Structure formats: C-alpha cells, structure tokens
Chain A
Amino acid sequence: MTLGTDRVNKVDRLAELTARRDGDAEGASLLRETFGRLRRSPMALSGAVIVGAFLFVAVIAPFVAPYEPGAQLWGREVMPNQNVFVGPRAENWFGLDHLGRDQLSRMLVGARNSLLVGVVATLLGFTVGAMLGGVAGAAVSLGRAWGRRLDAVIMRFIDMMLAIPALLIAVSIAAILGPSLPTVMVAVGLAQVPIFARLLRGSMLAQSHSDYVLAATALGVRRPRIVRSHILPNSLGPVIVQATLTLATAIIEAAALSYLGFGNPDPATPDWGAMLADAQRFLVGAPELAMYPAVAIIITALGFTLLGEAMRESLDPKLRK
C-alpha cells in the first residue's frame, strides 16, 4: 500500500518538475524551429540577400532604368561590323549594346522578365507535378488494388516525360506554340513536372511506412484522413526545397530558350537569355556584352540555390538538435 502511494507521489512530483521546466511557454512547431534555424544560417542569409536584391530590382526596374531599354539612342556611335563598341562611361554605366541601346537599362528591365518566367514556370511545374505525384502517392498509400494501378499509369506517364531531356521537351513545346514569353513559361514549367511528381510521390511512400502512420492506423484513423493529415503534410518539405532550387534552374532554362530564339521576339522587352544570344556574335570584339547577362544569371541562380540548400539543411531531421 505504501509502495503504491509512494509511486503516485513520484508521478505527481514528475509532473510538477516537467511543469516548472520552461513555464507556460507555447510549444514551437517544427516549421517555426526551421525558420529560426534558417535565420541563423549564413548560407540562407546570403541567398536571401541576393534573391531579395534581385526581386527589388525586378520590381522597381521600369522606374529606375535611366533610359528606354528598347530605344537605340546612340545607334550611330556603335558600329559592330567595324568592331567599334562603346564601353562604360558617365551616361551609360554598363556601356552600349550592339545597336546602341543602354546596357544598364536593358539589364534592369531584363531582370523583371527573367523573374517572371522563373516564378510562373516553377509555379506551373510545382502545381501540375505535385498534383500528379500527390494523386499517385495518395492512391498507393490508400493501399487498394485500384490505387496501385492508378499509380502505375501516372508514374509510367511521368517516366516517359523524364526519359526525354527537359530542354528537348521545352524546345518541342516552344516550337508548337511559337516564340513568346508564355511559351517559355509553359515549356520550362512542364519540363519540371516529372521531378516534382516523382519527388512528392516518393516522399509520400516513405512517410506511409513510418511508425506514426502505423500508430494512426492502430488508433483507428481512417486511411483517407491518414493520407490527408499525416502523410501529405510530412511529405511537402523536400518538394518546397525543390521548388526553390527549381527557380534557379527555371531562370537558366528560360535564358537558354531565349538564347535559342524561342523567347519574346519583341526587342523592346529585353531578357537576359536573349541578350546573351545577341552578344554571342560579338564575343571577340566585345566580350563584356555577354558578360553582363551571364554574370547576372549566375548570381541570381546562385542566390536561389543557396536559399534552397539552406532550407534543405534546416529541414533535415538529422541536423536537428
């Protein structure tokens, strides 16, 4: 009898001790902890600064660009055929391009188009890919025979897309739709679909074998609810990281498509890929013309990659304290 009471007292004392430990502080969810860790990571910080600067420039570009990006204001001063170019000077900080347009203005306005393509293409790839992958993953996780068949059909389709190189898909789509900015968006976006689909499905499958899913089953939770409220939310981390990384790829691929001539044909709306394509012809005479857009693309892609990598690291459960 005394033994029993003693034990009860011990449990009470334990409850008291756990209560006192950190007062009545709210629990920190994983998401909040991840964000906190992200804020302390130098990698995330540098990525965020680059991306932030890029976003800022893209938004304010039309207001701060010193000249009209499409106007050949100094057309007579540049003679590409005679190898006469104009480098940086007081009124044109980045010099003039081969048609005598202000390079700085074109770079600034070009940032806007590159960002637009990157974001829209990534959103498109993410939405379509996550939907396909989510349906396939959910179908398998439900554990019925028809679910596995549905999954097989979707995934073989995805495999087919994956078997064709992304750029080839993009080029085919661009060839069908004709050169324009939306074409580039759709082409780059669709090329990302299989990656998102596979990633989400794989992540869902991994989660569906976890112990807490088993625990939920033992609790008597219905399968659809388990998929919706346990498997899916826990599978999204890697997909969100992938989306951040894809922004970098999308900007590069959009540049590649513009470079190949599938971008917006209107010379008045510059983008970095098209500028790179134009500059290629004068690579010997004026290599700096190619350098500006190339370096801009690299730095922007680097910014998104840093941010994505930092997010992945802070989401990685192995690095959690």
Chain B
Amino acid sequence: MSVLELEDLKVHFPIRSGVVFDRTVGHVHAVDGVSLSVETGSTYGLVGESGCGKTTLGRAVLRLVDITSGHVRFEGTDLAGLSGEEMRRRRSRLQMVFQDPLGSLDPRQNVESILAEGLEVHGIGQSRADRRTKIVDTLERVGLASNALSRYPHEFSGGQRQRIGIARALVLEPDVIICDEPVSALDVSVQAQVLNLLEELQSAFGLTYLVIAHDLAVVRHISDVIGVMYLGGLVEEAGADELYADPMHPYTKALLSAVPIPDPVVEDAREQILIPGDLPSPSSPPSGCRFHTRCPWRQPERCDTERPELREVAPGHRVACHYAEEIRAGELRSRSADVAAGTPPPA
C-alpha cells in the first residue's frame, strides 16, 4: 500500500520584475508534472543533478513551498487542498531531515528545547518531565547521550548535529520522513553512520522515507525504489538493483557511467557516456523531451516535439523515453560512441 502519492505535481515559481509594480515575466518550472508513489515502510530515493527540482519536490510534499497544481495524497488525503491549520496539525506525521545540519538548527536553542518544540506545538506529553523522558529516549535512539540536553548545536560535530535533526523529526513519531540530502554535508565516514542509523530507525519504527540525494552510492545503499529526475520531471523509476543493473533512460545511463568502477580493467573497457552542455534553464525548458538538447541518442522530430510519458517498459520499471526499447536493444547508435571512436565532437 502506498502511503504517499504524488499526482502530476507542479511547482512553478514566478519571476518578477519591474521598477514600481511587480510584473510576472515568466515562471521557473522547478517541478513540472511529477507522479510517483511511495510504499509504506519502504524508501524511495530521488536522484538528479543540482537544480533539477528534487529539493523543491521534497518541500512541496510538506507544503513548505506553494504547490502550483497537482495532488499530494498522504494516506488518501490530498495535502494540496488542506487549509494552513489542517496542514499544520498533520505535520507531526510527515517530518523532514534537512541538508545543512547546523543551519537547520536554531543557534539559540539547546537540544532539549529543539526537540521539545515539536512536542509542545502538537500537544504531545502532559508535562515538561513527561516530554523530557520522551526526548531522552529519542536521543538514545539516535545515538546521543542524555547530557546533550542542555548543550547547543554549535557544540556538536556535523554527524551529531544531523542526529539531532533526525531526533527532532523522530520525536513526533511520524509515518513519513523526507530526507533532503541527509548526508551530503557530512564526512564520508560519518555518512555511513547516519545512513545506517536511518535504516535502523526504519526497521524499528516502520518508517517510510523519501530520500533526496545527488550521490548515487548513497541512494543505492538506502533505497528500495529509485526515481531519477531531470529538469523538473521524472525520467526513470525502477527498483534500486534493477536501475543500476539495467538503466534505460539515456540520462540515467550517463549518470551511472560517471560513477567510477574500482577495477582498472573494467573501468578502461567500459563505455563512458558523455553528455555535452549544461542543464537548460528551468524558466524556459526545451520543447518535447526535456533531455533532447543533450541526449546522445536523440532522434529527429519526435524527441524535439513530443514530451515522452513515463511508461512502464518492464515490470516495475518506468521510463520517459520514446526509444527506450530501441536503445536497450542496441538498434540506435549513440553519438558518444562516435566520440569514443575518435570523431571529435562539434565545438
């Protein structure tokens, strides 16, 4: 059963300009029609390069940014249609872990007051002592000692700060936690600790995660299902192992081929897919397939004009590419193969 369902979610930010009166001169299409569903107790990993809209998507689910159109269904209720107060009361069920562990903690609050705040605003716990017991329990759960209570965020290390951030979400006993780049600000050694902690908490409390990250290794380590985002849209979605074993969308292929393989023989032999150019501006996204400006397998006409739907190509494997099957069968030649063969790319 899916606890969280997104249907054609769009978040467009207006671009305003004007000297005296603000005029809307365009929109940034940060999230442009994403549909996905997250199964109860599972982890959905969302990857994509910087600026592809993955963070905005995470925030839109929690209504931290305004949703332009579409639906976010949490246990059947459409969050997009709730009033501010109704949404606020549901927030204890849907929590978030932020990317910057220090920036997301108020420097003037000690750990106890950081964790108590959520309990207070949701009226959980009868007394201060009651809440303190709960807070100490939660701190232990995330691997922090109870003497952390009276200390302040700047006195902790990066990993410990992220544990505080996780504890803050966890203390409300949520069903879903959205982790926005939960480990990208941490040392690699600490990353593993925090990821293991997240997995452990998931099995202990039956949590559902939506993990947003740009690090493919992190996402693979933690996710059951992975969605790949490009320029505000989902281009491919599959089970974690399936996606890594058999990427179908050209963009996913390129992303995965950028991950080095720790074996020099394999590393030298494999085909590297290079995608030229930069991410197009999300304020004027390309027509047709969003990726056609950089795609090595781009075909004339159809790719430029028709936006591909996310369609199920194999069981549990959805791809938004017109030619996914042909590329997979090797019927289409990629331009990067030409590059590898020695033809210089056009300047």
Say whether A and B bind each other. yes
User: A residues engaging B (CB < 8 A)?
Assistant: 4, 7-8, 10-12, 14-16, 18-19, 23-31, 33, 210-212, 214-222, 225, 230, 233-234, 317, 320
A18 touches B106 (CB 8 A): no
Smallest beta-carbon distance A214→chain B, Å: 6
Query: Is B328 located at the chain interface by the 8 A CB criterion?
Result: no
A219 touches B106 (CB 8 A): no
Bound together, the chains give a CA A77 to CA B118 distance in angstroms of 78
Q: Which of A18, A27, A219, A220 contacts B144 (CB 8 A)?
A: A18
Query: Is B128 located at the chain interface by the 8 A CB criterion?
Result: no
> Which B-chain residue is minimally distant from A20 (CB atoms)?
B145
> Which A-chain residue is minimally distant from B199 (CB atoms)?
A7
In this complex, the member of A12, A15, A220, A230 whose beta carbon has the largest number of chain B beta carbons within 10 angstroms is A220
Bound together, the chains give a CA A31 to CA B154 distance in angstroms of 12
Query: Is B196 located at the chain interface by the 8 A CB criterion?
Result: yes
Chain A residues near B200: list those with CB within 8 A: 4, 7-8, 11
B107 touches A30 (CB 8 A): yes
A215 touches B152 (CB 8 A): no
Bound together, the chains give a CA A16 to CA B148 distance in angstroms of 12
Query: Is B336 located at the chain interface by the 8 A CB criterion?
Result: no
A320 touches B154 (CB 8 A): yes
Bound together, the chains give a CA A275 to CA B285 distance in angstroms of 71
Q: Which 6 A-B pairs have the closest CB atoms?
A: A27-B151, A19-B145, A220-B91, A211-B103, A211-B104, A11-B143
Bound together, the chains give a CA A194 to CA B253 distance in angstroms of 58
Q: Which of A4, A210, A320 contacts B103 (CB 8 A)?
A: A210
Chain B residues near A212: list those with CB within 8 A: 103-107
With A18-B160, A220-B89, A320-B154 as contacts: A29 and B108 at CB distance below 8 Å: yes
Chain A residues near B118: list those with CB within 8 A: 219-221
A15 touches B145 (CB 8 A): yes
Interface string of B100-129 (1 = CB under 8 A from A): 100111111011000001100110000000
Bound together, the chains give a CA A8 to CA B100 distance in angstroms of 26
In this complex, the member of A10, A215, A233 whose beta carbon has the largest number of chain B beta carbons within 10 angstroms is A215
A27 touches B105 (CB 8 A): no
Chain A residues near B88: list those with CB within 8 A: 220, 222
Chain B residues near A211: list those with CB within 8 A: 98, 100, 103-104
Chain A residues near B160: list those with CB within 8 A: 18
Interface string of B16-38 (1 = CB under 8 A from A): 00000000000000000000000
Smallest beta-carbon distance B75→chain A, Å: 17
A218 touches B103 (CB 8 A): no
| With A215-B165, A220-B91 already in contact, 12 other A-B pairs whose C-beta atoms are closer than 8 Å | A4-B200, A4-B203, A12-B143, A18-B148, A24-B147, A29-B152, A214-B64, A214-B98, A215-B96, A218-B91, A220-B88, A222-B121
Smallest beta-carbon distance B246→chain A, Å: 28
Chain A residues near B148: list those with CB within 8 A: 18
Q: Which of B106, B154, B165 contacts A216 (CB 8 A)?
A: B106
Bound together, the chains give a CA A181 to CA B312 distance in angstroms of 83
Query: Is B272 located at the chain interface by the 8 A CB criterion?
Result: no
Chain B residues near A7: list those with CB within 8 A: 196, 200
Chain B residues near A19: list those with CB within 8 A: 145-147
> Which A-chain residue is minimally distant from B178 (CB atoms)?
A218
Interface string of B246-279 (1 = CB under 8 A from A): 0000000000000000000000000000000000
Interface string of B147-173 (1 = CB under 8 A from A): 110111011000010000100100010
Bound together, the chains give a CA A225 to CA B117 distance in angstroms of 10
Query: Is B197 located at the chain interface by the 8 A CB criterion?
Result: yes
Chain B residues near A218: list those with CB within 8 A: 62, 64, 91, 95-96
A214 touches B104 (CB 8 A): yes
Bound together, the chains give a CA A12 to CA B144 distance in angstroms of 9
Smallest beta-carbon distance B102→chain A, Å: 9
Bound together, the chains give a CA A15 to CA B159 distance in angstroms of 12
> Which B-chain residue is minimally distant from A321 (CB atoms)?
B154
With A16-B145, A27-B151, A234-B107 as contacts: A225 and B121 at CB distance below 8 Å: yes
Bound together, the chains give a CA A11 to CA B64 distance in angstroms of 32
Bound together, the chains give a CA A220 to CA B91 distance in angstroms of 5
Smallest beta-carbon distance A184→chain B, Å: 37
Chain A residues near B100: list those with CB within 8 A: 211
Query: Is B242 located at the chain interface by the 8 A CB criterion?
Result: no
A219 touches B143 (CB 8 A): no
B98 touches A215 (CB 8 A): yes
Chain B residues near A222: list those with CB within 8 A: 88, 121
Bound together, the chains give a CA A119 to CA B229 distance in angstroms of 59
> Which A-chain residue is minimally distant from B92 (CB atoms)?
A220
B143 touches A215 (CB 8 A): no
Smallest beta-carbon distance B46→chain A, Å: 17
Bound together, the chains give a CA A289 to CA B59 distance in angstroms of 68
